[in-house]
Structure 1
Amino acid sequence: MLKKLLQKLMIIPNSKLHEKLANEEAVRRQVTALFGVLSSLYGADKLVLRAGRLDALTLMRSSHIEDRVLALQRIVFENPTLEEKPKADKIPEILNEIEEAIADLLARKTVEEQLEKRVNERVQERHEEYIQEIRSQVLKESNGPENAQTLKKYAQLEKLEQTKLAKTTYELMRPKEIREIVGQEQALRALLSKLCSPYPQHILIYGPPGVGKTTAARIALREAAKHSGSPFSEDAPFVEVDGTTLRWDPRDITNPLLGSVHDPIYQGARRDLADTAIPEPKLGLVTEAHGGILFIDEIGEMDPILQNKLLKVLEDKRVYFDSPYYDPDDPNVPKYIRKLFEEGAPADFILIGATTRAPHEINPALRSRCTEIFFEPLVPAQVEKIVQGAAERLHVQLEDGVAKLIAQYTIEGRKAVNLLADAHSLALYRLKEERGEDRIVVGVKDLEEVIRASRLHPYVPQEPSVRFEVGRVNGLGVSGFIGSVIEIEAVAFHATEKGKGRLRFNDTAGSMAKDSVFNAAAVLKLVSGVELSDYDIHVNAVGGGRIDGPSAGVAIFLAIYSAITGKPIPHNLAVTGEISIQGKIKPVGGVFEKIFAARQAGMTHVLVPFENKRDVPADTSGLEVFAVKEIEEVLQIVFGESMVQAS
């Protein structure tokens, strides 16, 4: 047996023995290196303490490789219950696991060190900011909030306050009393009756521009405050805003009319509120007008959604706020903010809306909540009175003919006052140059120079030089609340070939006016038996004015009838009305405004449809109005003896 053992030992090659010894040495070096890594990771002292806590200190100091590997396992995996020493053939595998675990520890430590470094940097920044804030606070407490820069800006503002311009002439000439508003007596009486009541009503004012709607509303509030039965106090607010500037913000970030909420993050709430994440409601014009009047000019131009939200405020008499940032349980919320979110802001006011639109163009829900008042267009005599009153408030003297000349170029009170102001400025400039007058007199020449510089044209056309004219008639049109006289003319020639005549009409007048031409042609054949195909007929609206509507039907018929028959039409007659192909006169809109236009143009007779008789103004002095049902009545009036004698 001993012989066999010796033989076995003798056959082991020296190279394998050397390899085995080299592997053991490599393992020892690896173990030593791992302990070195742990020492740098934890520190030598902390590694000894860690090994003692995990019952690995004796094993770590052992000369046996198995003990040292077991010590590594206990330290790295933090498990003191490991008792089984690893076998020699398992040691390389165990060391690989230990290396991976140590690599994870190193990676984690690197991340933690980077994070700790960033945290320390941030803490240092915050510390410096905090120190700076405390320093600023101390300075404010000792010196106040001012510094050289803020004091400089304050001085600049104070300097700006010292520079003031005089009142504008328009502000000076604006009416201050109810009696100074011209041409709106009936509307003013209605306005005051609605406001002086113990139960004032919301109001919609319709009318053309420049007739005193805004001024009347402002003065009416002062008058109502004097009335014993009115709920308005003497200091009741009058808040004025232009509806064209009010737009609905779908994000609900800003709403100057109703108010909005400034959240603490994006919208610049006060710093003390932003720091505690508390939203801050901003009150709108409806709350500013509480107890008074909110006047919205051009209310018809407001966004429909905003109009509907305004209606809700009119019903509730309060504005409610909402915000996802509001926490009712937050003890840091100030009382006024809590009250606004929980109870809303008061908004008990009277709405007065003014518009140049027609009633059917206004929100029906808004109309149903308001009483409606109509301001009338101004006639030349009223414009002259406005100019004379403005001249008195301006303390100037008018040369004869100035007021009348202004009335020829505008029907708007505001425009008339502006023309007077321009002429007054020119008179002042002329007085400075001449140095010969000691008082200001606004002359006709001053006004004519203003008119030329402004490229103005007479609003009221000049009366024709003839009393009768063939193929020409005065039609009546209306745009908004402003009526106008439209000249319609027609010429007729025998066609070069019988039965092949043509009927032409200028396209700029509109498609419905073309239909009126063909309707008139049909009625003409029905009434007179004339075959229009035997004539070349051209119908024209003088000036290219748009008469895109059926109301020019009667006027077009008369122009064609006169051109073909040769019968003249009196110049002092104006007509309006739709004509059916059976010769019936149908009702049209805007009769009130059209009659005003006829009076301004110097007409003495007006034809209107019978069904529009109720729309005729009560005061038609100087104007005879005929209400007709059929075309035969029109022909009898226009070409009858009574009209000839009147002309």
Structure 2
Amino acid sequence: MLDDEHEGLAEVKRRVIEYLAVYRLRRDLWEEKKKADAAAEAAEVSKNVDEGVALDDNAADAAPANNNSAPSPTDAKAKSAVAPKSADVDGPPDNVFRDKAPILLLVGPPGVGKTSIARSIANALGRKFHRISLGGVRDEAEIRGHRRTYVGALPGLFVQGLRKVSVSNPIILLDELDKVGTSNYHGDPAAALLETLDPAQNWAFHDHYLGDVPIDLSQVTFVATANSLDTISPPLLDRCEVIECPGYVTDEKLAIARRFLLPKQTIENGLGNSGVITSDQVLTRVVNEYTREAGVRSLEREIAKLCRAKAVEYSTSRDGGAAYNPEIVAEDLERILGMAKYEQELREQDIRPGVVTGLAYRGSGNGGILLIESTLIPGGKGRLQLTGSLGDVIRESAELALAWVKSHGPALGLGTDPLRDVDIHLHFPAGAVKKDGPSAGTAILLTFVSLLTGRPVPPTIALTGEITLRGAVTAVGGIREKLLGAHRAGITRCILPAQNEKDTHDLPASARSMSLTFVRTVEQLLEEVWGRDTLEGLRRTDLARL
């Protein structure tokens, strides 16, 4: 079912299948245990009844009948055997199956199918589905309900949801968990969710509107979604199992457009099942030149534009106009969708010292290459000038890289003062786009070394990684998105921190053709780019220090 309704997301599907398998096995074990308990209880009752009948017969032979006599001990024993078990005051009753599985928190950029995965879980379990949108919830009373003393009082969202689905064990989706309000004079909605999501407490959830009547939420299976973990409170996050939902790659978007989006929009625009025909090359151009997102919502809007244009042509043909042609070719894209919104990102073709290609994460599941340029300005005093709409962290990375180069100047063959009588200008193109973060440290350092030594860096190499003052290369984030962007741009080799090797195991097959190199120090980085000869001076310097 998951493969039929969702494209890609292999890790997410694996965890959902594990969840469904465990749920089924636990439910079957509970049902088997209840049947065994019922059979044992019936056998015990039958045995007690038989013993009681035998005792009563013996008593009747030994003494005259007395209609007002007190009940025999065997009668009391038989009645106690058929009495229902009392519920534990410290826990929920065991008369129904309660799923105490972890709460799945699907985290990923918009449009990757988090909500539809929750619907698929409900369909697989055969249970009703209810969605609660937590975006913009600022009042604790929306979770716990209003007291009836207020005008217009209403139950909380969970009680309203249970009343709507009319069952006690639905799948409830907590959508946009990261956008729930924080503590204010209306209370803290995030704190009110703690009791709701705790399996040890939610079997007796109290809604203010219902007073002291407890609501059993322990049979409800909760699934939550979020775009980011940064704004979720730690106690609330501790109750969830986080599952990352990465953005789709081009091949996955193409398959989604072919299997789901195009047939859907064809039918919604009145063209029937085969009213629009197009090739994979046309859909690929739509994906690359008219959308740039992690999900597929913008892609669906662009496909809807194509279908609406074809709907006009079809309607005109039915009124006696030109014959309708259902095929969309590449020449139709500019006429219907306009000029391409995005140019395909390509690597540099020229080889020049002082120019290096880095890797950048651009948010919402997108990544790409980042060109870094540098030049020397004569008549300077060794100052560093930075341009390109840079933040504080990336500026510190540039200063850190220059400090390392200066301290290792003699070992690199640059003398004791590499910037004597010159200034160095470092520029990041696309100045209107803000740039920040420490992941460009290795690329900046390599830019300085390339400029000052006159050794060019091949444009087919891209790199990312944070550096320290002692020359260590440390881990960064967004590796998957960066590598996918590098592959689209034509990069053939990427140099990454060794600590990020674990993040490269789930790359799609289309991106595994790139060569990946992992380094732990700046010395290893320089060796991988220019060979061992570059490091002879550095090794002699290190030995002298020892």
* DSSP-derived class of the 2:131 partner: strand
Picking from 220, 224, 238, the partner of 1:353 is: 224
| 1:542 corresponds to | 429
Picking from 427, 431, 440, the partner of 2:326 is: 440
* Cα drift, residue 542 of structure 1: 1.4
Distance in 1, Cα, partners of 2:440 & 2:351: 20
Picking from 505, 513, 516, the partner of 1:617 is: 505
2:4 pairs with 1:179 = yes
* Cα drift, residue 554 of structure 1: 0.7
* DSSP-derived class of the 2:457 partner: strand
Contact 2:114 2:245 in 1 (8 A): yes
2:197 pairs with 1:314 = yes
* 1:607-631 superposed Cα distances (whole Å, 9 cap, x missing partner): 1112222222344611222110111
Q: How many residues align?
A: 419
| 1:238 corresponds to | 129
| 2:77 corresponds to | none
Contact 2:144 2:207 in 1 (8 A): no
Distance in 2, Cα, partners of 1:280 & 1:241: 11
- Where structure 2 has 5 or more consecutive residues not aligned to the other structure, the ranges are 24-98, 183-187, 267-272, 533-546
* Cα drift, residue 286 of structure 1: 6.1
* Cα drift, residue 450 of structure 1: 4.8
| 1:410 corresponds to | 292
Distance in 2, Cα, partners of 1:581 & 1:282: 53
| 2:104 corresponds to | 203
2:179 pairs with 1:301 = yes
Greater displacement, 628-637 / 284-293: 284-293
* DSSP-derived class of the 2:135 partner: helix
2:134 pairs with 1:267 = no
2:308 pairs with 1:425 = yes
**CA shift in 2, pair 1:266/1:212, >3 Å:** closer
Contact 2:388 2:427 in 1 (8 A): no
* DSSP-derived class of the 2:494 partner: strand
Picking from 345, 351, 360, the partner of 1:477 is: 360
Picking from 363, 375, 379, the partner of 1:492 is: 375
Greater displacement, 471-480 / 181-190: 471-480
* 1:349-408 superposed Cα distances (whole Å, 9 cap, x missing partner): 222111111x45432222222222111221111111111112245333114522111221
Contact 2:471 2:522 in 1 (8 A): yes
Summarize the alignment of residues 125-144 of structure 1 with structure 2, pairs less than 5 Å apart. none
2:387 pairs with 1:510 = no
2:170 pairs with 1:285 = no
**CA shift in 2, pair 1:346/1:240, >3 Å:** same
* DSSP-derived class of the 1:296 partner: strand
| 1:158 corresponds to | none
Distance in 2, Cα, partners of 1:259 & 1:448: 53
Contact 2:206 2:215 in 1 (8 A): yes
| Bigger Cα Rg | 1
Distance in 2, Cα, partners of 1:631 & 1:185: 35
Distance in 2, Cα, partners of 1:240 & 1:541: 44
**CA shift in 2, pair 1:430/1:503, >3 Å:** farther
Contact 1:287 1:346 in 2 (8 A): no
2:483 pairs with 1:595 = yes
Distance in 1, Cα, partners of 2:498 & 2:240: 30
Residue type of the alignment partner of 2:400: N
Distance in 1, Cα, partners of 2:364 & 2:491: 19
Residue type of the alignment partner of 1:623: M
* DSSP-derived class of the 2:190 partner: helix
- Pick the structure with more helix per residue: 1
Residue type of the alignment partner of 2:118: A
Summarize the alignment of residues 447-486 of structure 1 with structure 2, pairs less than 5 Å apart. 447-452=333-338, 456-458=341-343, 460-464=344-348, 466=349, 468-480=351-363, 482-486=365-369
**CA shift in 2, pair 1:401/1:246, >3 Å:** same
% same residue: 24
Residue type of the alignment partner of 2:224: G
Distance in 2, Cα, partners of 1:505 & 1:281: 52
Picking from 384, 388, 391, the partner of 2:254 is: 384
* 1:495-514 superposed Cα distances (whole Å, 9 cap, x missing partner): 226xx243210262111111
Summarize the alignment of residues 111-130 of structure 1 with structure 2, pairs less than 5 Å apart. none
* DSSP-derived class of the 1:217 partner: helix
* DSSP-derived class of the 1:532 partner: coil
Distance in 2, Cα, partners of 1:585 & 1:205: 31
Contact 2:8 2:252 in 1 (8 A): yes
* DSSP-derived class of the 1:543 partner: coil
Picking from 381, 385, 404, the partner of 1:523 is: 404
Distance in 1, Cα, partners of 2:158 & 2:247: 40
Distance in 2, Cα, partners of 1:287 & 1:559: 63
Contact 1:286 1:294 in 2 (8 A): no
Contact 1:207 1:376 in 2 (8 A): yes
- Where structure 1 has 5 or more consecutive residues not aligned to the other structure, the ranges are 1-175, 226-233, 270-278, 324-339, 642-647
Contact 2:360 2:370 in 1 (8 A): no
* 1:223-254 superposed Cα distances (whole Å, 9 cap, x missing partner): 2x2xxxxxxxx3x22112332132225xx4xx
* 1:535-580 superposed Cα distances (whole Å, 9 cap, x missing partner): 3321111112333221111111122222333322222222111122
* 1:456-490 superposed Cα distances (whole Å, 9 cap, x missing partner): 324x51344x1634332222232555242242322
Contact 1:356 1:480 in 2 (8 A): no
Contact 1:183 1:376 in 2 (8 A): no
* Cα drift, residue 299 of structure 1: 1.0
* Cα drift, residue 185 of structure 1: 2.1
Contact 1:205 1:373 in 2 (8 A): yes
2:443 pairs with 1:555 = yes
Distance in 1, Cα, partners of 2:238 & 2:3: 28
Contact 2:388 2:429 in 1 (8 A): no
Contact 2:257 2:283 in 1 (8 A): yes
2:472 pairs with 1:571 = no
Contact 1:550 1:578 in 2 (8 A): yes
* Cα drift, residue 303 of structure 1: 1.6
Distance in 1, Cα, partners of 2:310 & 2:370: 37
* DSSP-derived class of the 1:509 partner: coil
Residue type of the alignment partner of 2:405: L
Contact 1:424 1:442 in 2 (8 A): no
* Cα drift, residue 218 of structure 1: 0.9
* 1:582-636 superposed Cα distances (whole Å, 9 cap, x missing partner): 2221222332332333234332211111222222234461122211011122122
Distance in 2, Cα, partners of 1:237 & 1:469: 62
**CA shift in 2, pair 1:243/1:280, >3 Å:** closer
Q: TM-score, normalised by structure 2?
A: 0.70
Contact 1:377 1:596 in 2 (8 A): no
Distance in 1, Cα, partners of 2:130 & 2:14: 22
Residue type of the alignment partner of 2:277: Q
Higher relative contact order (CA 8 A, sep 6+): 2
2:231 pairs with 1:343 = no
* Cα drift, residue 190 of structure 1: 1.0
Distance in 2, Cα, partners of 1:446 & 1:297: 38
Distance in 2, Cα, partners of 1:551 & 1:437: 56
2:222 pairs with 1:397 = no
**CA shift in 2, pair 1:501/1:247, >3 Å:** same
